[in-house]
Amino acid sequence: NAHIEGGALHITATPDGADQHQCWYGKCQYTSARLQTKGKFDQHLGRFEARIQVPQGQGIWPAFWMLGNDIDDIGWPTCGEIDIMENIGKEPATLHGSLHGPGYSGGQPLTGQVSLEGGGKLADEYHLYTVEWEADAIRFYLDDELYETQTPNDVPGGAMWVFDHPFFMLLNVA
């Protein structure tokens, strides 16, 4: 489900072979790919970006994201998660960027979104998805335009800012 074609990485979701796997909801309906740099590359702070043309369609959920490299030791969400780009198929024009940590995870992350103007869809062309990660702020960009900033002051009372260690990168289509 992942291959290079024309100099670009393609990740596809397909029903081929899906019935051979068990998913949390029962028999799988599709297979896809998740690429990660765990054990090969991780970093704390800096600029992380990718030029991506997302797929489109109901039920498709492409993502470019990061997880704390200590996930195997302390689990999720304590390790932290930075969602640089998530596009939910039913919202073709909307980009979501989120931070997950203890006390602000799952359906209640620190999050922001931006939508393309004029009815454009993210899948219509390539876009540049970026985070700039500093010790006291994480900034989210679409095509070099800032749309969200999260800081330790945004973390709910009693919760921890867990973005103080290296993270590895992931790219997938769910």
Catalytic, out of 86, 91, 117, 125: 86
Catalytic, out of 49, 81, 134, 145: 81
81 catalytic per annotation:
yes
Strands (E) across 29-152 are located at 34-36, 46-52, 62-68, 81-86, 94-100, 110-115, 127-134, 137-142, 145-150
Number of Cα atoms under 13 Å in the Cβ half of residue 85:
30
86 catalytic per annotation:
yes
- Among all residues, which ones are annotated catalytic? 81, 86
